[in-house]
Amino acid sequence: MKNLLCRVGLLIWLVSCQSAYAASPVETVKEDVTTMLTVFRDPSLQGDSKKALRWQRLRAAAEPMFADREIARRALARNWHRFSTAQQDEFVDLFRKLLEKVYTDRILSYSYTNEQVVTEKQTMVADNRAEVETKIITSSQQIPVTFRLILTDGAWKVYDAVIEGVSLIENYRSQFNELLAKNSPDQVLDMLRKKVEGTSPVVEKPS
């Protein structure tokens, strides 16, 4: 019994150490941006013929960086609880695919060769939420981007991005509020399926 308690105590200590030394929000954003830019600037992934491979590598790099469920939950806001657990799971998957579909061409059209991403500061909004202010610096302009992060399972993950004052999630939230004012969750899910498949114009990219 004593030996078992020692093992359990050691396990708890290791977990607490991992949490204590987890990257801070600002360190997380720096690491994530560096990872993404490394993919974009990889010489072996340049050119139109490599777009599919570049996107595949980018998705693999980005997947652990984002809190997909938190993103989806905040996009639905008060409507989240109108969805059953199964519907919520499907919405998370479909919304992720929608965002990929909407932004793929735009993201891949940039070379990111000369751009700099400067991480300026972090602000703790709550014990488990933070905002990290950054700037994308190009030859002609500076674009302010604020990343919003949430602590999930000991790691900081992005759940929203505010670009020049416009929140990605708030933009979509207003669209889903309008749709769900007139349609059931099942109907909205069906719209999303068709949008992801490319057979419906519903839920266009934010302006």
For the full predicted model, state whether its pTM sits above 0.85.
no
- 3-class secondary-structure state, position 79: helix
Q: How many CB atoms lie within 10 A of CB 125?
A: 13
- The predicted-structure confidence for 83-103, as pLDDT tens digits, reads as follows 999 999 999 999 998 888 777
Lowest-pLDDT range of 55-64, 107-116, 163-172:
107-116
Confidence of residue 21 (pLDDT cuts 50, 70, 90): very low
How far apart are alpha carbons 184 and 177 in whole angstroms?
A: 11
How far apart are alpha carbons 29 and 158 in whole angstroms?
A: 8
Q: How many CB atoms lie within 10 A of CB 175?
A: 14
Distances (CA, A) of 35 to 61, 159, 171, 189: 7, 18, 27, 33
- 3-class secondary-structure state, position 133: strand
Q: For position 45, what pLDDT does the model report? A: 83
How far apart are alpha carbons 182 and 176 in whole angstroms?
A: 10
Domain annotation for the chain: domains and CATH numbers: 22-197 (3.10.450.710)
- The predicted-structure confidence for 27-47, as pLDDT tens digits, reads as follows 988 888 888 888 878 888 888
Q: For position 17, what pLDDT does the model report? A: 40
How far apart are alpha carbons 45 and 55 in whole angstroms?
A: 9
- The predicted-structure confidence for 184-205, as pLDDT tens digits, reads as follows 999 999 999 999 887 554 555 4
- CB within 8 A of 171, min separation 6: which ones? 206, 207
**How much of the chain, in percent, has pLDDT values that exceed 90?**
38
How far apart are alpha carbons 141 and 131 in whole angstroms?
A: 22
Q: For position 105, what pLDDT does the model report? A: 63
- The predicted-structure confidence for 113-154, as pLDDT tens digits, reads as follows 677 888 888 999 999 999 999 888 877 788 888 999 999 888
Confidence of residue 4 (pLDDT cuts 50, 70, 90): very low
